[in-house]
Structure 1
Amino acid sequence: MRSTPSEISKRFKRSPRNRIIAAIDLFCGVGGLTKGLEKAGIEVRLGVDIDPACAYPYEANNEAAFLLQSVADLNATKLHANMKGAGFKLLAGCAPCQPFSTYHQKSGPSDERWHLLGHFGRLAKELDPDIITMENVPNLAKQSVFKKFVSELEALDFNVAYEVVNCAEFGVPQQRQRLVLLASKLGPISLLRTKSKPKTVRKAIEGLPAIEAGEVCETDPLHQASELSDLNMRRIRASTPGGTWRDWKKELVADCHKRPTGKTYPSVYGRMEWDEPAPTITTQYFGFGNGRFGHPEQDRAISLREGAILQSFPKSYKFVKSGDPIYCKTIGRLIGNAVPVKLAEAIGKSIVAHVEMHTGSQKRAA
């Protein structure tokens, strides 16, 4: 039986000391959302993902346990035990965004990932949480599956709010537009803002050891850069921060960009600017030709570690076991798909403030 807002209010008046917010993170990936929620004082109990590559980084960097399972096959019976003793139940997650991304225009209901948001809604009904948060690409808000999701939450007595934000507003050194949804049975809820200057690429990564293309840093194996062909080395040396391939000599321009259809794609083969936030970090960010992912100064693409830092992961975040091989495509995908930690922390702080406003100060997890 689901709780009504009045029942929730009475529950916490009877138990003024019980203010722990316990969370389950669906589609948890390597733990960007979990880490941010933990930093805000929320006790994440469990992360769920279908990708086995996420298990080690998730558990090595966070307090929560990891469950290797598809959310489509999950039911609330497994989840209820993880909420034992919680004052408030938070269901969080970021369903795979690829079906809704503008980079995957051919995706649609035939893509099985399209329906995972529906399973998020199903679990919201089964688990009966007090608060829900979800992060995804802006284009999702235009889709019928999202409108249905919102309607289902409202039918469950949630106050729902959502907006598209730029992650740079929240201390992420990156221009990244994301859709953030917050829903609560306690009352209206919104994402809090603080006035601060955007963090720049310089402030984020300038202090890392210099490395060359194809080199691995001796002190941090994740600080490694992809090799460059002779042609791409000439191209990056001809590139300036903030510039494009349109600035190159004709013999350096790729054939595909010489065609009329290619001239509309200037944001590849470019360098980042030191004193601006980075462009959106994608799953292919470790490749110079995949976007404006050239280092501002060194003749190489940014390293795996630099991409993680630009996603606001702590510099010490572990992605592979010590001594294990590092596969750029795998780690790049995991980092590029992650919820930026600083955005997640802002979401978590908004939830904590919301709980405090409606019920008094919460008891934060140790």
Structure 2
Amino acid sequence: MSSIPKNPKLTALDLFSGCGGLSVGLKQAGFRVAAAVEINPKAQETYALNHPNVKLYSEDIRTLNASAILAELGLEVGDLDLLAGCPPCQGFSRLRTKNKGSSVFDPRNDLVSDFLRFAEEMLPKCIMMENVPALADDSRFLTLCKGIETLGYSYVVQILDAADYGVPQRRKRLILLASRVHQPVVGEKHTKRVTVRNAIAHIPARSSTTDALHAMPERRTEKVMALIKHIPKDGGSRADLPEEFQLACHKRTNGFNDVYGRMAWDDVAPTITSGCFNPSKGRFLHPSDDRTITLREAAALQGFPLNYRFNTLHGKESIALMIGNALPPPFIAAHASKLHEGISTQNDKDI
């Protein structure tokens, strides 16, 4: 019979895990991710490829019994150290809200209530939720905050830029940290930002790579390729194009100025989205090569390790969606580390 370690790793449960960005960050912060919940089959497969030792629940979270999960993990109510997750945020997205305020109707928005249900039934020591900034003003989020406060949690809510926490991209996110064993605080900002150069300049050329994700082919029309070649290197935009390459649709609008733009080597990238392989969706052109960034480069700009595995048979659209929806691991690690520190300090006092 094996003995229990003197300082066993703190346990975490990852709700709405997607392809695993949150779990990567939690592990980097020192947590043992005991289980995860994800409904999308391709995301499940990707998660399992990279986190084979985590128990993965593939059911709809609305049908899952939180108490039963605790029992299957060998935990009592109150034993779980961290409940973490990002309820699907498409319904709260700025592009899908009215007047950038209240959220439009989307059934996925109600999954916030399932997050609260898990907190009520499990009573974890700490809670972490990450989401889009628009969630802050939604009534369901306010109900969540009141609910955890009633349960005895102290909490902090802030809207932060992931670029301040080691992620090589601008990405404004809401973070909720709650604890019933200490006063939670967000992580300290990094003194220096990680740039596009830091993140992807060392990745081998596509022509010589053995990485199937990095080598996925890019197919463009001759007209689009000619346009891309005329975008100035290292931060150029479509505004720099000669008149004959200006698209009629771009002349008619002053918005979406980043489309057909290049990233700059010594700056952070724009927010990586599911359209990151399409130059018409944002500033997704490589700083110096005449192409969009590859999906491997996109994953690196999200903060994933370079050996993170994706099944290329899933196709570009599906993989880009997983990467774009992922939680950047360094951002998660920075804040989860503070929760880990708080729980560990309190555990030491209780010994």
Alignment partner, residue 74 of structure 2 = 84
Q: Unaligned 5+ residue runs, structure 2?
A: none
Report the Cα offset of residue 82 of structure 1: 4.6
Match of 1:256 among 235, 249, 253: 249
Provide runs of 4+ in structure 1 moved above 6 Å.
none
Matched, 1:266 2:257: yes
Alignment of 1:113-192 (within 5 A): 113-192=108-187
**SS of equivalent residue, structure 2 residue 130:** strand
Amino acid across the alignment from 1:134: M
Q: 1:337 aligns with which of 320, 325, 328?
A: 325
- For the 8 Å contact 2:96–2:104, the answer to whether it is kept is no
User: Is the CA contact 2:80–2:122 (under 8 Å) kept in the aligned structure 1?
Assistant: no
Equivalent residue of 2:211, what SS? coil
The normalised TM-score by structure 1 is 0.87
Of the three residues 197, 200, 207, the one matched with 2:202 is 207
CA distance in 2, matches of 1:196, 1:217: 35
Letter in 2 for 1:331: I
What amino acid does structure 2 have at the position aligned with 1:178?
R
Shift of the 217–118 alpha-carbon distance from structure 1 to 2, 3 Å rule, reads farther
TM normalised by structure 2 equals: 0.91
Q: Are the structure 2 counterparts of residues 19 and 351 from structure 1 closer, same or farther at C-alpha, using a change threshold of 3 Å?
A: farther
Which of 63, 68, 87 is equivalent to 1:95? 87
Paired residues, number: 340
Structure 1 CA distance, aligned partners of 2:72 and 2:263?
Answer: 43
Counterpart of 1:199, as a letter, is: V
Letter in 1 for 2:141: F
Q: Secondary structure at the match of 2:96?
A: coil
1:103 counterpart SS class: helix
Q: Which residue of 2 aligns with 1:59?
A: 48
Give aligned-pair identity as a percent: 38
Partner of 1:244: 237
Distance verdict in 2 for CA 1:33–1:125, change over 3 Å: same
Partner AA of 2:257 in structure 1: P
Pick the aligned partner of 2:266 from 264, 268, 275: 275
Does structure 1 retain, via aligned residues, the 8 Å contact 2:29–2:334?
A: yes
Deviation of 1:21 (Å): 1.8
Q: Distance in 1 between matches of 2:326 and 2:320?
A: 10
**Matched-pair contact (CA < 8 Å) for 1:205–1:306:** yes
Moved more, 305-314 or 63-72: 63-72
Alignment partners' CA distance in 1, 2:242 and 2:26: 48
Instruction: Give the root-mean-square deviation of aligned CA atoms.
Output: 2.3
The C-alpha deviation readout for 1:322-345, integer Å capped at 9, x for no partner, is xx6240000000010000011121
Deviations 1:295-322 (A, max 9, x none): 00000000010000000100000011xx
Aligned to 2:27: 38
SS in 1 for 2:105: coil
1:12 corresponds to: none
Q: 1:299 aligns with which of 287, 290, 293?
A: 290
| Preserved CA contact (<8 Å) 2:158 2:175 | yes
- Per-residue CA deviation, residues 10-69 of structure 1 (Å, 9 max, x unaligned), is xxxxx9956542111100001100111112110111110110101222122123121111
Asked if 1 retains the 8 angstrom alpha-carbon contact of 2:91 and 2:105, the reply is: no
- Relative distance call for 1:332 and 1:50 in structure 2 (3 A) is same
The answer to whether structure 1 residue 308 and structure 2 residue 303 are counterparts is no
1:288 CA displacement: 1.2
Aligned to 1:288: 279
Larger mean CA deviation between 58-67 and 338-347 belongs to 58-67
User: Does the alignment pair 1:22 with 2:18?
Assistant: no
State the Cα deviation string for residues 272-292 of structure 1 (Å, max 9, x = none): 000011110001101111100
C-alpha distance 220-18 of structure 1, shift in aligned 2 (>3 A): closer
Instruction: Name structure 1 gaps, 5 residues minimum.
Output: 1-14
Q: Tell me, yes or no, if the aligned pair for 1:305 and 1:315 is still in contact at 8 Å.
A: yes
